[in-house]
């Protein structure tokens, strides 16, 4: 296993080419780490390149004059294998990386070898920690870099020391989260982090909390997710959140800030299995790929899920219908950001004056390198031409503004996204994800507050009396005749009862939960239609106790209910308090039932008769007598009365023995018995069950 230190990154230097009368290559570096990105194949780059050319807001890429055509047919991205530089008439492609036994500096050494032929800029798909190292390296060489999936919260401090050449395509969700917390006045927030970037975001949130007076009432509880695949660790983490606020009147706000879409899917499934999907839970997802998560099952338990997505007027593939397409097959934010990053380079190249563009992109006559783009990592004095060009190109890139696939593209002085809009999406009871508001850096507006304000009616108020729906069913719930007299179960339907008016296992269990555990007031109501709960057809409502829970006529049901998938889709079940099974008692002589007693008597007599006949035949036939020991010439016969009984029984049971008749008469008797046994066993087997 390659560690995060030794396995620094896989670097893909892609040299797409541009036709300017003659074939001209524009080299762009693409840095990919397979531990943080799944989009490392050439097909993804080609799709992003085509999508970038299709962004025709007020910019048109002159396809007849310039044509990017990266070649991938002869190159496959393989981990732990080194590819030499592959040259053809169109482009250069090389793959370099740190091997398992190498260190970080070995990776930089390989990058330097690639940069000696020239590079106009780079695109990074690696994580925040590795991007920070690569950013320092590129800044020293005056090479612009656009990171797709990393955000550095310490960039402003770094900017005070030196000029940056780094643009971040990732939208910062922390301002939206902060505005959301202020808007709904959270008092307690559980923050689950995975990875360094998530922890840096939490630290930045703590700094914001300490700086703003109106924000310091928030109680932040951070929990770090170490191993998402370790179910015991994940279960203990979720239990710590549940136990921390057990019995609280307030809603439990939980922020999930994880590394990848797979981590979100895995943790959400654990949350569902752990039963943390009741109306008192509110999850906030800190991912820009939340639309790729199938969260339809969360709308049944009443849980609230909120997430933010960039607002954009463009779609990479307009033919894909998000409502019918598998969620994971939708374009990720990284893919859309790659297309926008390529579009930034296209627009910056076209924004250069003609002379600068021709000088920079004109390769030398002796080789395929670019004079203005040549970079000597080991000798800074030789990079004066590229430094001037790199600074000019990056200054243009920072001023570029357009509507891309990840929303409005515009950068501030630190290279971070600004002037973007985030749509606020929410999942509530029986509702699919819907847009309930918008966020910009200037304001936060909510268009639909019903999903948030309406949930306050479900707050855990110990003063309110709960209604428990149940059904009369011995010995679980029974009417106390000493108190109620001769009241029947039919007459009790729909009526309210106290704990003293009923008795049984369910009554004792409910008393323990209400009075001892939760300390709340409860009363029973016998279900109106005396039904457990079924849904006859799709267009008909639920009946019985399940129907009363779905219609919010009761708070909980305590009854001998069978847990089914259909019921579990609309209500939440607790862990089973009692398991009931069906015991099947079989009589010892039940195997005789396929045949009548008369038949069994006849079979018994036939068995005895055949054994006796075989014994007599063997006694009278000379062929059944033999001398076993030559020293003592004494005749013996194997078919004694016990052996003949055993022989007949073995044939009836379809088993073999070590001795068989030798005489013709004995074999005829045995053959008749075998045939009879075969017919009888077949008839017996056919009548079983």
Report whether 544 contacts 551 (CB < 8 A): no
Q: Quick one: 442 and 475 in the same domain? A: no
- Is residue 240 situated within a structural domain? yes
Strand ranges (E), 229-367: 252-257, 281-285, 304-310
The pLDDT score that the predictor gives to residue 323 is: 64
Residue 95's nearest CA partner among 9, 199, 219 is 9
In angstroms, what CA-CA distances link 212 with 131, 186, 215, 439? 30, 15, 5, 20
Out of 380, 408, 436, a domain closes at 408
What is the tens place of the pLDDT at every residue in 426-482?
887 667 788 889 999 888 888 765 555 444 444 455 677 889 999 998 888 999 888
What mean pLDDT do residues 244-267 have?
Answer: 80
Out of 457, 482, 517, a domain closes at 457
Q: Quick one: 551 and 476 in the same domain? A: yes
CATH code (residue 282): 3.40.50.2300
The pLDDT score that the predictor gives to residue 615 is: 92
For the purposes of burial, counting CB atoms within 10 Å of the CB of 688, is it exposed (0-12), middle (13-18) or buried (19 or more)? exposed
Q: Quick one: 535 and 452 in the same domain? A: no
- 304-310 and 281-285 as β-strands: parallel, antiparallel, unpaired? parallel
Residues with Cβ within 8 Å of 668's Cβ and at least 6 positions away in sequence, in order, are none
Q: Quick one: 155 and 18 in the same domain? A: yes
Backbone angles phi, psi at 583, to 5 degrees: -95, 125
For the purposes of burial, counting CB atoms within 10 Å of the CB of 490, is it exposed (0-12), middle (13-18) or buried (19 or more)? exposed
The pLDDT score that the predictor gives to residue 25 is: 55
CATH code (residue 662): 1.10.287.70
In DSSP terms, 28 is beta-bridged to: 14, 121
- Is residue 583 situated within a structural domain? no
The pLDDT score that the predictor gives to residue 196 is: 86
In this model, does residue 81 exceed pLDDT 60? no
- Is residue 416 situated within a structural domain? no
What is the token pair recorded at 155? 């960039």
Please compute, for residue 364, the number of CA atoms within 13 A of its CA located in the half-sphere on the CB side: 12
Residues with Cβ within 8 Å of 416's Cβ and at least 6 positions away in sequence, in order, are 151, 155, 168, 172
Cα separation, 254 vs 506, in Å, equals 34
In this model, does residue 628 exceed pLDDT 50? yes
- Is residue 129 situated within a structural domain? yes
- Is residue 596 situated within a structural domain? yes
Q: Quick one: 394 and 482 in the same domain? A: no
Cα separation, 246 vs 244, in Å, equals 6
Average pLDDT of the chain?
A: 77
Residue 561 per-residue DSSP state: P
CATH code (residue 153): 3.40.50
Q: Quick one: 347 and 392 in the same domain? A: yes
Q: Quick one: 299 and 206 in the same domain? A: yes
DSSP alpha helices (H): ranges in 565-596? 565-568
Helices and strands counted in the chain (H then E): 20, 27
Q: Quick one: 186 and 319 in the same domain? A: yes
What mean pLDDT do residues 72-96 have?
Answer: 28
Where residue 409 falls among pLDDT bands split at 50, 70, 90?
very high
Report whether 26 contacts 117 (CB < 8 A): no
The radius of gyration of the chain's CA atoms, rounded to the nearest angstrom, is 40
Report whether 148 contacts 168 (CB < 8 A): no
What is the tens place of the pLDDT at every residue in 557-585?
999 888 888 888 778 888 777 776 666 66
Cα separation, 258 vs 264, in Å, equals 7
Interhelix angle 333-351/384-399, rounded to 10 degrees, is: 110
- Is residue 485 situated within a structural domain? yes
- Is residue 578 situated within a structural domain? no
- Is residue 585 situated within a structural domain? no
Q: Quick one: 18 and 163 in the same domain? A: yes
Which carries the bigger pLDDT value, residue 251 or residue 85? 251
The pLDDT score that the predictor gives to residue 671 is: 93
What is the tens place of the pLDDT at every residue in 673-685?
999 999 999 988 8
Q: Quick one: 209 and 309 in the same domain? A: yes
What is the tens place of the pLDDT at every residue in 196-231?
888 989 988 888 777 776 555 678 888 998 888 888
Where residue 519 falls among pLDDT bands split at 50, 70, 90?
confident
Q: Quick one: 66 and 184 in the same domain? A: no
Number of structural domains the chain divides into: 4
Residue 571 per-residue DSSP state: S
Q: Quick one: 38 and 101 in the same domain? A: yes
Cα separation, 200 vs 177, in Å, equals 14
Where residue 367 falls among pLDDT bands split at 50, 70, 90?
low
CATH code (residue 548): 3.40.190.10
In angstroms, what CA-CA distances link 138 with 26, 116, 165, 387? 18, 14, 7, 11
Q: Tokens 């990479």 appear where?
A: 316
Domain that holds residue 556: 461-568
78 upstream amide cis, omega within 30 of 0: no
Q: Structure pTM? A: 0.62
């Amino acid at each position: 296993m390659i560690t995060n230190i030794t396995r620094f990154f896989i670097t893909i230097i892609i040299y797409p080419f541009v036709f300017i009368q003659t074939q001209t290559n524009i080299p762009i570096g693409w840095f990919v780490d397979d531990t943080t990105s799944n989009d490392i194949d050439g097909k993804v780059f080609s799709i992003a390149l085509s999508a970038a050319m299709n962004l025709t807001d007020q910019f048109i890429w002159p396809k007849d004059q310039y044509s990017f055509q990266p070649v991938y047919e002869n190159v496959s991205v393989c981990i732990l294998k080194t590819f030499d530089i592959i040259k053809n008439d169109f482009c250069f492609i090389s793959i370099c990386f740190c091997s398992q036994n190498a260190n970080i500096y070995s990776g930089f050494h390989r990058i330097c070898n690639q940069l000696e032929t020239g590079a106009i800029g780079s695109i990074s798909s690696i994580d925040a920690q590795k991007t920070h190292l690569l950013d320092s390296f590129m800044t020293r060489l005056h090479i612009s870099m656009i990171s797709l999936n990393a955000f550095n919260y310490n960039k402003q401090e770094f900017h005070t020391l030196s000029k940056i050449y780094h643009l971040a395509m990732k939208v910062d969700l922390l301002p939206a989260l902060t505005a959301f917390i202020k808007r709904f006045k959270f008092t307690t927030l559980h923050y689950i982090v995975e990875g360094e970037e998530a922890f840096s975001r939490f630290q930045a949130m703590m700094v914001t909390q300490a700086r703003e007076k109106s924000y310091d009432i928030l109680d932040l509880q951070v929990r770090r997710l170490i191993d998402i695949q370790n179910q015991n660790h994940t279960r203990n983490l979720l239990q710590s959140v549940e136990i921390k606020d057990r019995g609280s009147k307030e809603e439990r706000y939980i922020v999930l800030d994880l590394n990848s879409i797979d981590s979100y899917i895995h943790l959400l499934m654990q949350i569902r299995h752990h039963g943390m999907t009741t109306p008192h839970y509110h999850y906030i997802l800190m991912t820009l790929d939340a639309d790729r998560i199938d969260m339809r099952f969360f709308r049944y338990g009443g849980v609230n899920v909120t997430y933010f997505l960039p607002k954009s007027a463009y779609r990479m593939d307009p033919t894909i219908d998000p409502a019918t397409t598998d969620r994971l097959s939708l374009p990720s934010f990284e893919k859309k950001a790659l297309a926008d990053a390529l579009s930034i380079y296209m627009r910056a190249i076209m924004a250069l004056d003609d002379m600068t563009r021709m000088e920079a992109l004109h390769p030398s006559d002796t080789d395929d390198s670019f004079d203005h783009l040549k970079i000597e990592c080991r000798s800074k004095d030789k990079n004066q031409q590229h430094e001037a060009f790199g600074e000019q190109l990056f200054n243009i890139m920072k001023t570029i503004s357009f509507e891309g696939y990840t929303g409005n593209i515009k950068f501030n002085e630190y290279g971070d996204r600004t002037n973007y809009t985030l749509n606020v999406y929410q999942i509530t009871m029986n509702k699919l994800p819907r847009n309930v508001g918008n966020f910009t850096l200037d304001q936060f507006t909510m268009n639909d507050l019903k999903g948030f304000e309406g949930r306050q009616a479900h707050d855990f108020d110990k003063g309110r009396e709960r209604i428990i729906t149940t059904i009369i069913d011995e010995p679980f719930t029974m009417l106390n005749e000493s108190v109620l007299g001769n009241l029947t179960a039919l007459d009790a339907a729909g009526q309210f009862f106290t704990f003293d008016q009923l008795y049984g296992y369910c009554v004792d269990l409910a008393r323990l939960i209400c009075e001892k555990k939760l300390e709340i007031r409860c009363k029973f109501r016998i279900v109106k239609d005396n039904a457990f709960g079924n849904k006859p057809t799709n267009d008909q409502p639920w009946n019985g106790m399940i129907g009363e829970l779905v219609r919010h006529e009761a708070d909980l049901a305590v009854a001998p209910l069978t847990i089914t998938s259909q019921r579990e889709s609309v209500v939440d079940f607790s862990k089973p308090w009692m398991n009931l099974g069906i015991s099947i008692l079989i009589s010892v002589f039940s195997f005789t039932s396929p045949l009548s007693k008369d038949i069994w008597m006849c079979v018994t007599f036939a068995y005895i008769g055949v054994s006796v006949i075989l014994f007599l035949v063997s006694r009278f036939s000379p062929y059944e007598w033999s001398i076993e020991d030559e020293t003592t010439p004494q005749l013996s016969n194997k078919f004694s009365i016990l052996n003949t009984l055993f022989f007949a029984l073995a044939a009836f049971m379809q088993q073999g023995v070590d001795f068989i008749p030798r005489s013709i008469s004995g074999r005829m008797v045995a053959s008749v018995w075998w045939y009879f046994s075969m017919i009888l066993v077949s008839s017996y087997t056919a009548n079983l069950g």
